[in-house]
Structure 1
């Protein structure tokens, strides 16, 4: 505990030393100190401004700039001689983050009880190793239960977010258009086959030798298109790919290929990038993808 107090006090002194003042400073020293103070504040402020600009708008509603400045000012303007207060502030901020995560996941925390228990324990005249061990074991058990509740909460959040995306007009439209596209392609070309998963594929050219299999790899040339013909990715020089390193539909089709073969994959959205899509590549939620793939060389799986 003593070492922690010393470290926190030293850190506080380093951070807030300018607040205590020093009447023995010469004019030159003060000029340098003023320049350093302004540069330090500007540099840190600009870095935070850049980070702040990148957070979602809904988060900015709970992270108002005025509130951030108020908290920042409260800390740096605190008298550096108040070492105990600064130490308590540091510990409180660390614990506050944990309390916030609990509350965000639906666990009700009574902050007054946290403080009362903290104060009572801290003000103890002495702490036996047995008492400390019992307290740690009790908290560990409760913390594990809390972790489970937090995981359940975040899973529900993810499922709700996924359901919302699946029900979005764009996702529904893309899924319907993709299904119609594949159905029409099969009607026009009976050589297109489908797998139980829903992948449709056409063997343009049969190759030779063993297939890639689930654990093999292949050096391939390919062109990836959306159903409107837009090319979103291609490779003409050859790229080593494995079924496990691609979207499910591409991986399933690649596993069937052998050296020299050429296939066309018609991949439904749920076997491609799903409701998340791939915005950077221009792939919307539940978008159906069409790949023309040539296996230049194959390394069969074990």
Structure 2
């Protein structure tokens, strides 16, 4: 199958217009039309319906699209297997607002010549490790809840982040004026974390944190996004949530939200960088060294970590 034609089909499907796809691929609109027509002849189906506003996938086009994307991913992995320095270092972060993304931005500032491709797989640790194994990404950040000997053979992990917590509350909350709070103080208040999926490593972490300090962590209700969460917190005298100290939030000045450090002891969410031991991308070692140099360790007497951190090491 002609991979250039497949790549053109995917670009046209994403853009919804041949002209936009042509610009993205640095070819002419006529070339896009010829490639798509050739692919349609090879497959003996129509992939697009032409409309006054551009093109729309047919049912056959919709069926072919995920396989076309997989063809391109496999081709990229095959190329990278012999030329690992050709493409950008691809690193997965669960959210672009949290500590891993902040650290990657710091890495980019420190090493601006290294090409970096930051992606969000929106996956738990098991799916993220599978993506690293498959070569979809070069590395990912997650909490690793098992000992190294229980990881897949080629997978390696190094703890690089101990993320401290902050309490996020509105101006009418009872703790709004506190300079710091202890986990024991939080036991008297409802911690609202809607939409947290059961069975994920972060759900396991918060379950153990709640059990250790008698916290009430409420997962009720669907997650409508951070904007809705911040608005609810700003308007409530009772709701509070926990956030990583490096998590980036933006809200209107009128919300007057407060970020209060949690100390005595300070719960930390431990995250590791996960990669394949046989990955030869030249920038991967540079990233690992950079993260190791940035990790700030706090004495064990001042922090709380879940039991799987203490037993996995």
TM-score of the two chains, using structure 2 as the length reference: 0.22
Bigger-Rg structure (1/2): 1
Structure holding more helix per residue: 1
Q: Could you tell me the TM-score, scaled by structure 1's length?
A: 0.23
Higher relative contact order (CA 8 A, sep 6+): 2
